[in-house]
Structure 1
Amino acid sequence: MSAPSFAPRVLGVAVPTPLRRLFDYRPCPSGPSGGWRPGLRVRVPLGRREVIGIIVECRDTSDFEFSALKPVSACLDSDPLPADWLWLCHFTARYYQHPLGDTLHQALPVLLRQGRPLEARTRERWRVTAAGRDAETSRLGRARRQAELLELLRQHPRGVIGSVISAQGFGRAQLKGLADKGLAECREEPLTASAAPSGGGLLAEPALVLNREQAGALAALHQELDRFHACLLQGVTGSGKTEVYLQLIEAVIARGRQALVLVPEIGLTPQTLARFRRRFRVPVVALHSGLTEAERLDAWEAARAGRAPIVIGTRSAVFTPLARPGVIVVDEEHDNSFKQQDGLRYHARDLAIVRAQRDDIPVVLGSATPSLESLVQARSGHYRHLFLTRRASHHAPARLELVDLRGRPTQGGLIPPCIEAIGNTLDAGSQVLVFINRRGFAPTLACHACGWLAECRHCDARMTLHRQPPRLICHHCERQSRLPEACPDCASADLRPLGTGTERSEEALSALFPKVPVHRIDRDSTRRKDALEQMFAEVHRGEPCLLIGTQMLAKGHHLPHVTLVVVVNADAGLYASDFRALEHSAQLLTQVAGRAGRAERPGRVMVQTLHPDDPHLRLLAESGYDALAEMLLEERRLAALPPYRRMALIRFESPQEAEATALAGSAATALRAWLGQRSLDVNCLGPAPAPMERRQNRYHVQLMLSAARRSSLHEASAFLADWLERSREARRVRWSIDIDPQTLS
């Protein structure tokens, strides 16, 4: 991507469109001072509007008449975007069969997409000068406020930022007066990641003492700091994986390099951020959807400029440029949140590995329940496999106790033995986590007279009953409706909630244990900014309480006072049509069980189920996740499913079922004819309706491709993408390609 040695006549620009091609433009007369180069952002006309694009090619020729090319409206940058960022975007577009222009657009911070200059926001920092340190306050005469301000600045040798000075009641007049007398000076500094370590070394608090397993894992990671290698750090919940990350990153920063840490959920970011900021004196920045767009751009620019040695973020942070990359850590690498499920369907974990290989740095994948893909890579020797088998609390991880739900009365989804265990735990002064992976009051509303169920008019799904406020909501299209006063089919007023959600369990447990605080943690209760942090602050005080929540509670949270976990219904995800359902359910159960007994008291996990004799569930309960993973891998191998074969899904959706089905059928016919002329080991299955055929009033049909080799799968996917772009039928049907899908829905 170096600058061309000639003044190009044509600029190949990637713009955010669904088209998989570049658009040719003529350079405008007022070009950048450094010349036209790939990586510069430009404003260009596209149809009747102007858009922000990125130069990808500088050349002398075009397939179109030079006179027909429109000129670039303006160049927005003097220097190109970072080379490592451009390389990663090119790879992502190529691997995931996505248009390059849209890939570049999605990987940029929103303000850069809108044309904002790539520069740090700054703030004023006022310092006392050498003359000001020695000056007698009497020299200021009757300027009493200037004397008070001078004394404030003397107390802070590193200076005081302008907003703090204003908060103390001082104004521009006093600042200007001191500056005019040579007693104070002002310097502009970046708003984000501007503070440097102020003595005392790299650490703000000492590192913890490692046990033998942690020390061995850290020593193994230290051996590979100067080159690429992928390491799977498999540690039981509570085994201290984060402390290993912290001490590894300490060594990386000591070498003057940067660390990128990926976490699966925004809820984990504040917790992880706080722990890193307590440990290190260096700036630590965050990148996640909870920030304002200006804050995201500030953090992105600080990482690009190298001012932020540590960057912590969710899935999209994998695209953050680093000036001096040193290590990438992917925590909870198995988590499905790392896979983008719409638009640019990338997997952040896989891109982190590719990026680390390109930068020749180590990448660490941490999990108590590794994905089957990572386990296969570790067992084949492509990843180094390190283990942490002991908890820091010295208690063994709690085993799952399967509790038979059949024929037993329930209150809020809980049967009497579990309610009794909850009461005993609270009486002992501990906390209880009740896990139910369904938000709302009940999965649906039913008529007890005729059997009518509240179903969504736009999706093949039932409406979820919510009580706060009273509403029926479809969790697939977000359509809402008021509660009916009577059954629309038979006019009966006997409408009853069917099943249990988090709101119903909260209501029941609040009635059963009225003197104990009940905290419901799900997407509805944590919409308000900082709501999740405030709830966890109360929980961490250690007083007896009940936590009720969805999978938000299962991911990496340290809850030292929880000694009992009750899973309301373990069967919800075990018998789904997706072949990954059992893997994901086992990971979720193991993770939520890991919240119990993480401190000085041992934990207990009670799992309610209608299928206590299911062989997979029993194997998980008796022998743990590793044994179940071994069985699942053998089943996948025999069935020729991932991770033993590569897979892609081509999805078609349209308001007209016939249109989606016809286009999918034509695409399948064209692909099979193309495959018949080549010796590629690619299977094409379908077309078939998606597991949820109608969603948001659109019909969904899909083709499934599988291949033994990744290259063959990509060749077939590229053919389909090209065929669909040239097809007139495809202009009326929305279609997408999902490489390495994590769900079939």
Structure 2
Amino acid sequence: QLIAHCLAKGQQALVLIPEIGLTPQTLARFTERFGSGIAVLHSGLNDTERYAAWEAARTGAASIVVGTRSAIFSSLLRPGLIIVDEEHDGSFKQQDGFRYSARDLAVKRGQLEGATVVLGSATPALETLHNALQGRYGHHRLTRRAGAGELPALRAIDVRREALQGGLSEALRDAIASTLQAGQQVLLFLNRRGYAPALQCHDCGWIAQCTACDTRMTVHRRQRRLRCHHCSANVRLPQACPACHSTRLLTNGLGTEQTEDVLRSTFGAWPIHRVDSDSMQGKGAMQALVAKVQQGAPCILLGTQMLTKGHHFPGVNLVAVIDADALLFSADFRGEERMAQLLTQVAGRSGRAGDAGQVLVQTHYPDHPLMQAMLTESYAEQARRLLQVRQEHGMPPHGRLILLRTDSPATETGEQFLGAVRQQTEPGLPPGCRLIGPLPSPLQRRANKFRNQLLAMAPDVRRALQLARLLVHCAEQHPARQGLNWSIDVDPLDLG
């Protein structure tokens, strides 16, 4: 309705979505409602397609522009409305190269161009919610689901002492069978692609490590490869241990490939679709799958976060989180927020067409406070509690973070550079600001570069900007020798 009102005034609307995979269904909905005059911008286009869409936006030939984060820079002849769908999603933040937040730029662009900005989400980021509660943003609450859908019932499955098959408990396997036999669809969420996150020798304890990163290689059994999910290095899956030559190699942990094998052996009579970045390759792969699933025939969807981002599967009646414990323990201060958002978004795939549906969450820690909050509180209640905790510790949105990071062939080079920057910066720190570090990044070695970081904290935006300028000025005074590169990130989402 807002878009229709915008177009009626002869203005253009810009709609940002978090993933390329959502483009086809969004475009289909808009075409059905508004007809032609819609341009699409994302990284999957070739140069000719991108230029045509850019020109359509710039000349006003396109009344609606739909795109991923980079579309925020598209030139509009008559901007009137900017919508950021799923505004909480981390993909709106460009975290390398030219760093920016498309959500924050949308707010600023709306201010500069006099356009209305709508930030939409069932699980708004704490920064956005804080601005709304403080009266900086208008706050519109949608208290009912779209259409006839009802909110699903959430239940935890205690998997302690359970015999798991591919990560699936007996209770979950029974629920899957009942749902399929009732002619309905099942969505299983496991945020770990590959077959297993580690390969280990049973005789000597050797573990397959990436030679370029401080991390283990992931087993991809379909391709018979070991892959690093950080630097993309890959090697052939060994037949024997390179240390002791034993052939007794074990896989540790769980991935979507492993669970898929169990599902096919147990529920082979029904279609099973694995949805992750390994299986959904090729232009139109996700679009074809969504169209097939939306036909409504009973099936099982197994996937990673790709399944949680706005896709509409009206036939899904059962949603299950296979390994909720992987979300419980995070060293990042945003971990609790991300867990609440992710589980709420996953649960939102169930019961979208009438029946309430059910959501089952497998965990070894059913009594953990975060798990209890997820089962008994709404996202709004959890968010308000987390905001209170952030305020007590001076963390965003009640404070600002700045991350100065170095990448260098030797860790000492980065430590010395950041140490010198800190020493030069400290005498001129704005009041209330402080520095932490230099410290090694949690994942210190990545792609044969050692990463170190200096974390800066400021109580408000004004002093954060002063501090950022000071850090850049001081960093520029020190030559980046021996292959060192440095970068600064204001409001970083990734501290790893």
Match for residue 494 of structure 1 among 241, 248, 270: 248
Q: What is the letter of the counterpart of residue 725 of structure 1?
A: E
Superposed CA offset, 1:316-341 (max 9, x none): 00001100001000000000010001
Question: Which residue type is aligned with residue 270 of structure 2?
Answer: V
Per the alignment, in what secondary structure is the counterpart of residue 326 of structure 2?
Answer: coil
2:491 paired with 1:740: yes
Q: For the residues of structure 2 that align with 1:740 and 1:713, how far apart are their CA atoms?
A: 10
The residue that corresponds to 2:144 in the other structure is 390
CA distance in 2, matches of 1:397, 1:671: 52
CA contact (8 A) 2:150 2:355 kept: no
**Corresponding residue number in structure 2 for 1:640:** 394
- The alpha-carbon distance between structure 1 residues 360 and 730, as it changes in their structure 2 partners (threshold 3 A), is farther
Once the two structures are TM-superposed, the CA of residue 728 in structure 1 deviates from its matched residue by 2.1
> 5 Å matches for 1:696-735?
696-729=447-480, 732-735=483-486
| Displacement of 1:732 | 3.6
1: distance between equivalents of 2:101 and 2:491? Answer: 8
> Which amino acid in 2 is paired with 1:341?
Q
Q: Residues 631 and 450 from structure 1, CA distance in 2 versus in 1: closer, same or farther, beyond 3 angstroms?
A: farther
1:304 corresponds in structure 2 to 58
Pair 1:263-2:21 in alignment: no
TM-superposition CA deviations, 1:518-560 (whole Å, max 9, x none): 1111111111111111111110111010001100000111100
Asked if the contact 2:417/2:478 (under 8 Å) is kept, the reply is no
Counterpart residue identity of residue 382, structure 2: L
Q: Is the 8 A contact 1:339 1:348 kept in 2?
A: yes
Distance in 2 (CA, whole Å) between partners of 1:444 and 1:473 is 10
- 2:309 is matched with which residue: 555, 569, 573? 555
CA contact under 8 A between 1:391 and 1:397: conserved in structure 2? Answer: yes
| Matching residue of 1:472 | 226
Equivalent position amino acid for 1:496 in 2: L
- AA aligned opposite 2:468: S
Task: Give, in whole Å, the separation in 1 of the partners of 2:392 and 2:477.
Answer: 38
Supply the distance in 1 between the matched residues of 2:216 and 2:327 (Cα, whole angstroms): 17
Q: Deviations over 1:82-123 (max 9, x none)?
A: xxxxxxxxxxxxxxxxxxxxxxxxxxxxxxxxxxxxxxxxxx
Residue of structure 2 aligned with 1:571, choices 308, 325, 334: 325
Q: Take 1:614 and 1:637, find their aligned partners in 2: how far apart are those partners?
A: 23
* SS in structure 1 of the partner of residue 105 of structure 2: helix
Q: 3-state SS of the aligned residue for 1:312?
A: strand
After superposition, residues 328-407 of structure 1 pair within 5 angstroms as 328-407=82-161
Distance between the aligned counterparts of 2:48 and 2:459, measured in 1? 45
Which of 639, 653, 676 is the equivalent residue of 2:407?
Answer: 653
How many Å apart are 1:722 and its aligned residue? Answer: 2.1
Read off the aligned partner of 1:438 and give its amino acid letter: R
Could you list the per-position Cα deviations for residues 242-273 of structure 1 after superposition, in whole angstroms to 9, with x for gaps in the alignment?
Answer: xxxxx110111011100000000111111101
Q: Are positions 1:691 and 2:442 aligned together?
A: yes
Superposed CA deviations along residues 172-192 of structure 1, whole A, max 9, x for unmatched, are xxxxxxxxxxxxxxxxxxxxx
1:73-222 counterparts in 2 under 5 A? Answer: none
Q: Which position in structure 2 is the counterpart of 1:527?
A: 281
Q: CA deviation at 1:444?
A: 1.4
Distance 1:674 1:733 in 2: 25
Residue 505 of structure 1: SS of its match in structure 2?
A: helix
Would you say the 8 A contact 1:430–1:563 is kept in 2? yes
Match 2:291 to one of 514, 531, 537: 537
Q: Which residue of 1 aligns with 2:8?
A: 254
State the distance in 2 between where 1:257 and 1:603 align. Answer: 41
Amino acid across the alignment from 2:182: A
- Secondary structure, aligned partner of 2:29: helix
Structure 2 match to 1:185: none
> Post-superposition shift, 1:731?
6.8
For 2:132, the aligned partner's letter is A
Paired amino acid for 2:288: Q
Match of 1:424 in 2: 178
Are residue 452 (structure 1) and residue 206 (structure 2) matched? yes
Cα distance in 1 for partners of 2:50, 2:364 equals: 46
Instruction: Check conservation: 1:399, 1:622, Cα contact below 8 A.
Output: no
Q: Deviations over 1:52-102 (max 9, x none)?
A: xxxxxxxxxxxxxxxxxxxxxxxxxxxxxxxxxxxxxxxxxxxxxxxxxxx
Displacement of 1:719 after TM fit? 1.9
Structure with higher Rg: it is 1
Q: Which secondary structure state, in structure 2, belongs to the residue aligned with residue 702 of structure 1?
A: strand
Amino acid at match of 1:633: L
Q: Secondary structure at the match of 2:263?
A: helix
Tell me the secondary structure at the aligned position of residue 294 of structure 1: helix
Provide the alpha-carbon RMSD of the alignment.
Answer: 1.2
> In the alignment, what sits opposite 1:621?
375
Following TM superposition, by how much is the alpha carbon of 1:613 offset from its aligned partner in structure 2, in angstroms? 1.0
Q: Distance in 1 between matches of 2:394 and 2:400?
A: 9
Q: Helix, strand or coil: the match of 2:127?
A: helix
Which structure 2 residue ranges, 5 or more long, are not aligned? Answer: none
SS for the counterpart of 1:713 is: helix
Give me the whole-angstrom Cα distance separating, in 1, the residues matched to 2:389 and 2:246: 49
Q: Secondary structure at the match of 1:563?
A: strand
1:699 aligns to what SS in structure 2?
strand
Pairwise CA distance, 1:655: 1.0
Counterpart CA distance in 1 for 2:481 and 2:333 is 29
Could you tell me how far apart the structure 2 residues matched to 1:281 and 1:509 are? 42
Please give the TM-score of this superposition, normalised by the length of structure 2.
0.98
Matched to 1:546, the amino acid is I
Shift, 1:512, TM fit? 0.4
Which runs of 5 or more residues in structure 1 are unaligned? Answer: 1-246
Q: In structure 2, give the amino acid aligned to 1:710.
A: V
Confirm or deny that 1:511 pairs with 2:265: yes
Match of 2:432 in 1: 681
Alpha-carbon distance between aligned partners in 1 of 2:178 and 2:456, rounded to the nearest angstrom: 53
What is the deviation of 1:401?
Answer: 1.1
- CA deviation map 1:114-155 (0-9, x unaligned): xxxxxxxxxxxxxxxxxxxxxxxxxxxxxxxxxxxxxxxxxx
CA distance in 2 between partners of 1:447 and 1:393 (Å): 53
Cα 1:549/1:424, change in 2 over 3 Å: same
SS of alignment partner, residue 251 of structure 2? strand
- State the 1:452 CA deviation: 2.3
Aligned to 1:209: none
Mapped contact 2:92–2:102 kept (Cα < 8 A): yes
Structure 2: distance between partners of 1:680 and 1:304: 44
Distance in 2 between residues matched to 1:730 and 1:250, nearest whole Å: 56
CA distance in 2, matches of 1:629, 1:315: 25
Of 66, 72, 83, 1:318 maps to 72
CA–CA separation in structure 2 for the residues paired with 1:430 and 1:281: 33
Whole-angstrom CA distance in 2 between matches of 1:541 and 1:395: 18
Q: Determine the structure 2 residue equivalent to 1:580.
A: 334
Letter matched to residue 742 of structure 1: L
Tell me the number of residue pairs that the alignment of Structure 1 and Structure 2 aligns.
Answer: 496
